[in-house]
Amino acid sequence: NAGVTQTPKFRVLKTGQSMTLLCAQDMNHEYMYWYRQDPGMGLRLIHYSVGEGTTAKGEVPDGYNVSRLKKQNFLLGLESAAPSQTSVYFCASSYLIGYTFGSGTRLTVV
């Protein structure tokens, strides 16, 4: 089925460890996004990309890096995880006709 696929679905990290979340879409969408969702805060935009090779900061970019080397993939990296980065991370893609979201990655930093 066409859509947005996120890996992994769950992860527990120790403080200071690094990891990369992968997002892949097969709809040929130009735009891709990473959001985090925290209780009572709604979804907040971390970084986004308007095309292959481009990235831009969103509302809460600190502590995260991203790359969009291929149009279909958008990677979110945590270089040194902190407990404040415990959250549910959602990737999404869009182009003119609305958003499609992935099913999320639940990350716990201990």
Please tell me whether residue 100 binds another protein under the rule CB under 8 A: yes
Distance from chain centroid for Cα 43: 12
Residue 60 engages another protein in binding (rule: CB under 8 A): no
What sign does the dihedral 56-3-28-67 (CA atoms) show? positive
Minimum distance, C-beta of residue 94 to another protein, in the bound complex (Å) = 5
Q: Of 15 and 54, which has the nearer Cβ to another protein?
A: 54
**Residue 90 binds another protein (CB under 8 A):** yes
Strands, E assignment, the chain: 4-7, 10-13, 19-25, 31-38, 42-49, 56-57, 64-67, 73-78, 87-94, 99-101, 105-109
The reply to whether 56 sits near another protein by the rule CB under 8 A is: yes
Binding-site ranges for another protein (CB under 8 A): 31, 33, 35, 40-45, 48, 50, 56, 58, 90, 92, 94-104
